[in-house]
Amino acid sequence: MTATDKKAAKTEQVKGAAKETVGRAVGNERMTAEGRAERAKGDMRQAAAKGKDAFHR
């Protein structure tokens, strides 16, 4: 997993978690769902990058 891939995945995960938390705090279901989706996208990006690493070894 390259440093750029790690950074992009982690950034997306953190942004999603923050958006989800804020959405829950203010009672905004849409923001909560967007945050959850963004965090999941970051998780998938991280898994894809790890898969690339495993394949190249």
- Contacts by 37-45, CB closer than 8 A, 24 or more apart: 38/12, 39/12, 39/13, 40/16, 41/12, 41/16, 42/8, 42/9, 42/10, 42/11, 42/12, 42/13, 42/14, 42/15, 42/16, 43/9, 43/13, 45/5, 45/8, 45/9, 45/12
Give the pLDDT of residue 12: 94
Residues 1-57 have pLDDT tens digits of: 678 888 989 999 999 999 999 999 999 999 999 999 999 999 999 988 888 877 776
pTM given for the model: 0.81
Number of domains observed in the structure of the chain: 1
Range of the domain at 45: 3-56
The pLDDT, as a whole number, for residue 2 is 76
pLDDT at position 57 is: 66
